[in-house]
Amino acid sequence: MDKRELRKIPALRATPQDISLAKRVSGAKYIAKSEVRICAHKKTLLLNLFRAPELRIGKVEAAFRVCCTHDDYITQDMQNATACKWLTGKLYSITWEYDDYGNGDFITFSDDESVNLVHKFFHKEGDPIRVIHDFQESIAHERLMCRYRELMHQIDERMKLVPSLPHDFRHWVEEYALYDSRYLVYQYSRKKQMDGYCTHCHHDVKVINPKHNQKGICPHCGSHVIFKAAGKFHHQLDREHVTLIQRAGDGFVFRCFTAYKRYDNIRKPDMAIYEDMRSFADKGFQITSEDAYKWDSFRPNVNIVRWKDDPAAGVWYEGKVYWNNLQEVLQGTKCQYSALWTLLERNPDKRFYPLGFLLNYKPSYEYLIKLGMYNLVFEDVNSSEYLYSNNGTDIPKESKSIVEALGIPKTMLSMLKMMNPTKNELSMFRAAAAAGKWTTPEEVRRVESVIPDARVFSVPETTPHKIMRYIEQQKGRNAEHAFREWIDYIGFCRKLGYDMGNSFILFPKELKKSHDTLMNRIKIKNSRAEDKKIRAMFKEYQRRFEWQQGNYVMLVPRCAADIIKEGQDQHNCVGGYVKSVAEKATVVLFLRKKENPKKSLYTVEYCDGKVMQCRSFSNGPMTSEVEKLIKQFERDILCRAEKEKIGVGVA
């Protein structure tokens, strides 16, 4: 609308009749007077709004003037005589307040002529305020649709950069993404040999003594399968997330799919693949919230299902990644020699976060993959630099050789190549090397199966064999719990200056009693400086680690006294962890019931993106319910960290 021409129209003033009406209608908030003018060659309705309280005291100037043509509207704020202000909001948004609810007189027209002008201008009968409101709603909706159409066009133009699907994509999804969706369905009988059908090779086979839900091998195709009794195999639905990475213009597009396979008919299962999200990355694989899109209803008030901008969309955190095109797609990038395709092809059962690999790529990954040390790459990618990673398991960002990257002597390299170690197993080799000890894959695997803790190899006063033997003598106790208690105990001994060469001191007959005695002595030595550090880090830890799920909450200690009190209430040794918490060597958390957060329930030690310990009263174990909660907590905290680190939704 032509604001300059509208400004030239003289302002209408209230008449004595208008003032009288304002005094008579006590519920009136505004008195309205209509007029029709020709402005910029357009017929224009002017709705002048006078504040009723001001009319009652004799003020005759209008507060607002609503200007409407047949295709537009705007409101002139006339309350400031020196400056003209224009409002684009609708009539109700400018004049209506909550206390006007139910007040039919809050805008009262001064006379019938003003009402008739509104009806005649819009060619519509009824409440004149409703007539104006409906007109403004239709114009606002059209303005919104115009903006939406422009946004849709921009999105469609960007989607033109997305190439078509690889010709073998559907076959790859069925063969590898749904790798675990392979069943051998058998007809149960009392006979040793039973009739079965393999859903992978589509052949009838004979199987011997199968068990429902047991893993096995198809005798015809040799594929891994899960045995299913036909009588119990009903309406099986398998689902998997799939990520496809392709070139898109000068950058990349991460396409996220969900694949479904339904076995209503085992001989003709139905498979469907739906694309859920697309995220565009630059040459460095960076994705912003403006680069993420989702297939969904475009807007709540627009009933169209299509690609929409969605900052919460991103890249599947866990899923299968299509590898057949990766060698070509990654050409010319920092990851062109990464051998990522080999890693994925050799481990088709593994779920993977490709964006984490590409963003945080380390040159040593190439060598680890070519040496067959896949577990180290998977675990290193899934860990986050944002989380604590100071237990000696990280692969360094830069290294001159694979030996330097692994942090072991060259003589140990051949053993690691044979065993495809996990990060925990690597930490055991590192600990042994740092302590000047020799170990073997067999010893590492034995220790890892009983006490998955690298500190078994780093105690200089004794050998892993003697430690294992001592821990196994702690009858009726969990080996992990007993070892951690022993590690705490020898730490107390060192602080108090005990003779560690004395086997009577090193391996006490009553571990728990000796541990608790020394712990109380150590508490006396706790310094005020540690308490100050813990108080200083409280707000940061609260943001990062406080969490709730169902009836449970995870809380952060505010001070050293909270940690010591937790140890006293729970009859455990967490009171001796004050220094470790203050030095950020570990994190202590409290899992409690939401309805009674002050009552101790479980004490949690969190380090390197994992819950290292979760103990109830007197070092009791977790229930199955709490185990599930702790796994969910680990996933949620890791996702929270990735979102803060990358700045884009992690689905």
Mean pLDDT of residues grouped by 10 in the chain (651 residues)?
Answer: 90 93 92 94 95 93 95 92 87 83 84 95 94 94 93 96 97 95 94 93 94 94 94 92 96 97 93 96 94 94 92 90 97 95 94 92 94 93 55 76 91 92 92 92 92 91 93 89 93 87 90 87 70 92 94 94 87 86 94 94 92 93 94 91 66 52
The pLDDT assigned to 525 comes to 62
Q: Which of 452, 406, 390 is nearest to 425 (CA)?
A: 452
3-state DSSP call for residue 432?
A: helix
Cβ proximity of 240 and 177 under 8 Å = yes
Cβ proximity of 562 and 541 under 8 Å = no
The pLDDT assigned to 527 comes to 59
Cβ proximity of 211 and 198 under 8 Å = no
Separation in Å, CA 304 to CA 66, 145, 148, 263? 33, 12, 11, 32
Per-residue pLDDT of 200-213, as tens digits, reads 999 999 999 999 99
Which stretch of DSSP H or E encloses residue 7?
Answer: helix 3-8
Strand partners, 603: 590, 615
Per-residue pLDDT of 551-591, as tens digits, reads 999 999 999 889 988 987 898 888 888 889 999 999 999 99
Strand partners, 649: 314
Separation in Å, CA 470 to CA 456, 464, 465, 466, 481? 12, 10, 9, 6, 13
The angle subtended at Cα 282 by Cα 280 and Cα 285, nearest 5°, is: 90
- What does the alpha-carbon distance between residue 315 and residue 313 come to, in Å, rounded to a whole number? 7
What beta strand segments (E) does 282-412 contain? 292-299, 302-309, 314-315, 320-321
- What does the alpha-carbon distance between residue 321 and residue 344 come to, in Å, rounded to a whole number? 7
Read off φ and ψ for residue 480, nearest 5 degrees.
Answer: -60, -45
The pLDDT assigned to 286 comes to 94
Per-residue pLDDT of 92-116, as tens digits, reads 888 887 777 777 788 999 999 999 9
Residue 568: CA count within 13 A, CB half-sphere: 8
The pLDDT assigned to 385 comes to 43
The pLDDT assigned to 497 comes to 85
Strands 236-248, 320-321: parallel, antiparallel or unpaired by DSSP?
A: parallel
Has this prediction a pTM greater than 0.85? no
- What does the alpha-carbon distance between residue 607 and residue 264 come to, in Å, rounded to a whole number? 45
